[in-house]
Amino acid sequence: QGKGGVLINTASTAGLRPRPGLTWYNGSKGAAITLTKSMAVELAAEQIRVNCLCPVAGETGMLADFMGEDTPEKRAKFVSVIPMGRFSQPSDMANAALFLAEDSSSFLTGLAMEVDGGRCV
């Protein structure tokens, strides 16, 4: 139905800034970022933009997989490396995805957008 479109993948800040003990996760997210960039180059001529979101640890079902038992001490340790001082929320990801899908970002492709409160700075 015409030309153009937008694809938005999800990776992680772990694909940009790997963490010890998570080689399997770091590698898979790094691959998702490279896939995004490769697809961006392949599909640009058709005006299809391809970007990915790279969230930091957030208030999702996956948090326990990384943090273990949810305690105030563990939460404080995780949040201490996020300059904005909080976990990401699903709405942070949704808002970033909406921005990348809008016409106002029509010249952005191949981007690995860090939705991380400054974690990767």
Structure-block tokens of residue 96: 């970033």
Q: What is the mean pLDDT of the chain?
A: 92
**pLDDT tens digits, residue range 6-38?**
999 999 999 999 989 889 999 999 999 999 999
Is 25 assigned a catalytic role?
yes
CATH class of 5-115: alpha beta
* pLDDT tier at 71, thresholds 50, 70, 90: confident
| Burial (0-12, 13-18, 19+ Cβ within 10 Å), 91 | exposed
Which of helix, strand or coil describes residue 117? coil
pLDDT at 66 over 80: no
Distance CA 68, CA 40 (A): 36
Which pLDDT score is estimated for 62? 77
Query: What does the pLDDT average to over 99-116?
Result: 97
Catalytic residue among 10, 18, 22, 25: 25
pLDDT at 1: 61
Q: Is 21 left (phi over 0), alpha (psi -120 to 50) or beta?
A: left
